Structure 1
Amino acid sequence: MGNSSTKLKQINKSDTNNNNNDINILSPKSIDRRTKYSMNKLRLPKRIILVRHGESLGNVDELAYCSMPDWKIPLTEKGKEQASNVGKKIKEIIGNNSPISVYLSPYIRTKQTFALMIKELSNNNVITVREEPRLTEQQFGNFQKAEDMIRYKKERGQFGRFYYRFPDGESGLDVYSRVSSFIGTLFREWAKEQSTRSNHEDNNIIIVTHGLTLRLFLMRWFQFSVSEFENTRNPNNGDIIVMNRIKFDVNMNETLSDQSCIDTLLYSDHFILDNYVYEKLNIKHKTIVPLERSIVINDIERIVSEAEKGYEIASDINS
């Protein structure tokens, strides 16, 4: 009995060096996969805007945490003014009549920031507003004693911000894990919206959250290493970080070796940060890396170096 594989033309070395583009043997599975990706790529929203809440009572008086739960800490008057300015800054970026989807931490200070921000965006089409517990601040425990927190933060500086776990609280890694889960939810929702809403790709995603959570969101999205994260710093209260959508181009990213790499991605574009963000947050990593790729060749030297000598924890610690 003849084997169906004998019907396929055998390609020898000389065949692979000629210019006959018709010679290409792919399994049916490979053909289906490429066809699916090329025909049904996910378009990402126009931009993601990350917002750190305005100045809170806890930012000016850490003793507030001794008598008030972290989630109840309100904005100061200065923080309220910052929140209004957030809305004005976003309006300058997106204009009027732009679709908006908002995700916010359910803490009082982020709710207040949202409430004042959204007043400045009343002429825009708000599609979704959702409280998202995965966007909350790192959990530092329950009621916090000032002397204990001073000791814990000193320990964290020695141990490492990403891995240190506060007693009865979370580590940076814990926050990273829930932020990663949230990003997965975003992609599922975008895929659903693409099939049900014609202007999905014009949408502006606004995420109102906390300083550390914001940095861990960026770490996950742009695949910063742990050592790179350790050296980042918080944006100021009321700062916004804008991630603008671009179309993938192999010439823009040395980690993508050729167009075929882009052709197999599940989506056709990605987000970049403005240059000022890297300086503001002390981010050294500027390579555009798709979320589907967990490691790039340029990381190998860094990983080997860190394995051999370790890396220094940033001395300028901020939560």
Structure 2
Amino acid sequence: MSALATTPTSLVLVRHGESVGNVAASRAEREEALVVDVTTRDADTPLSERGEDQARALGAWLAGLPADDRPEVVWCSPYVRAQQTALLALGEAGLDVPVHLDERLRDRELGILDRLTWRGVRARHPEEAERRRHLGKMYHRPPGGESWADVALRLRAALGDLQRREAGRRVLVVSHDAVVMLLRYVLEELTEDELMTVVRERSVRNASVTRLDRVDDAWRLGLFDDVAHLAELDATITEHEGTGDTGG
């Protein structure tokens, strides 16, 4: 049996559009605040107005793809901002495809560090700031939260189910910044050093597109953090990308 018969043919990975959490995190950084001013739990944090526009721009991009490149199914984080991104994009594209929610695609959980800026972490939990410095992003697990390695573990399980269920299909995955990075880590079989080099060099911007194609029994990167479809929108709106963990 060929590899294409047992795996998806392509995965398009999308980070959700800008959320109100991203806006609040950027504001907190500018104001040198200790806490990000978000009252909703992370799972319920919605898109900002700009995020909704980004999702529609993503939909216009999907509509412009050749028919044999358009997604046939969507796997989505159950977090509100991801669901809104997927549904707005599909509506704009006129695509009537199944949407599967999977909690394993959720954002990284930060435990006691939730809603804190890094100034807040250093001020309120200096021992955790030191542990993170020593252990690094991949293996630091804040109390009550997850390390990047923990997220990778649940993504491996989700990918096993996805590949069995969506054999031969083109899949759109709508999720979060760390999840997009770690899906690359798992699918491309990157090392920790290779992943951290990518993290240092590039972010995963809101509503950006990353594409992986199955070629010769391996996953090959076709696009990473592409936002060309947002150019017209960005030309008319002041740039204020969220860069914090809140609402990722």
TM bracket, shorter-chain basis: 0.7 to 0.9
Alignment match of 1:90 (pick from 62, 74, 77): 62
Residue pair 1:44, 1:270 contacting (<8 A) in 2 also: no
Alignment match of 1:240 (pick from 186, 209, 215): 209
Gaps of 5+ in 1: 1-36, 192-200, 249-268, 281-316
Write out aligned runs for 1:144-223 (5 A).
Answer: 144-146=115-117, 148-149=120-121, 152=128, 155-191=131-167, 201=168, 203-223=169-189
CA distance in 2, matches of 1:55, 1:136: 16
Residue pair 2:152, 2:182 contacting (<8 A) in 1 also: yes
1:50 pairs with 2:13: yes
Structure of greater relative contact order (alpha carbons < 8 Å, 6+ residues apart): 2
Q: Tell me: CA distance 1:222–1:74, structure 2 relative to 1, closer, same or farther (3 Å).
A: same
Name the counterpart of 1:133: 103
Q: TM-score under structure 2 normalisation?
A: 0.74
Alignment match of 1:272 (pick from 215, 220, 225): 220
1:225 pairs with 2:191: yes
Residue pair 2:77, 2:102 contacting (<8 A) in 1 also: yes
CA distance in 2, matches of 1:182, 1:141: 22
Q: Tell me: CA distance 1:180–1:94, structure 2 relative to 1, closer, same or farther (3 Å).
A: farther
- How far did residue 169 of structure 1 move? 0.7
Name the counterpart of 1:76: 48
Q: Tell me: CA distance 1:52–1:154, structure 2 relative to 1, closer, same or farther (3 Å).
A: farther
CA distance in 2, matches of 1:278, 1:78: 18
The one-letter amino acid paired with 2:44 is K
Q: Tell me: CA distance 1:235–1:79, structure 2 relative to 1, closer, same or farther (3 Å).
A: same
Question: Which secondary structure state, in structure 2, belongs to the residue aligned with residue 242 of structure 1?
Answer: strand
Post-superposition Cα deviations, 1:64-98, rounded to whole Å, max 9, x if no partner, equal 56532111111111111111111122222344895
Q: Tell me: CA distance 1:243–1:94, structure 2 relative to 1, closer, same or farther (3 Å).
A: farther
Post-superposition Cα deviations, 1:5-58, rounded to whole Å, max 9, x if no partner, equal xxxxxxxxxxxxxxxxxxxxxxxxxxxxxxxx57x9735433211000011112
Write out aligned runs for 1:253-268 (5 A).
Answer: none
CA distance in 2, matches of 1:278, 1:61: 22
RMSD: 3.0
Post-superposition Cα deviations, 1:97-126, rounded to whole Å, max 9, x if no partner, equal 95610010011110111121111221x451
CA distance in 1, matches of 2:85, 2:137: 26
The one-letter amino acid paired with 1:226 is E
CA distance in 2, matches of 1:160, 1:107: 26
- How far did residue 137 of structure 1 move? 0.3
What is the number of equivalent residue pairs in this alignment?
A: 212
Post-superposition Cα deviations, 1:218-268, rounded to whole Å, max 9, x if no partner, equal 10001000111122233110101112343x2xxxxxxxxxxxxxxxxxxxx
CA distance in 2, matches of 1:154, 1:235: 26
* Structure ID, larger Rg: 1
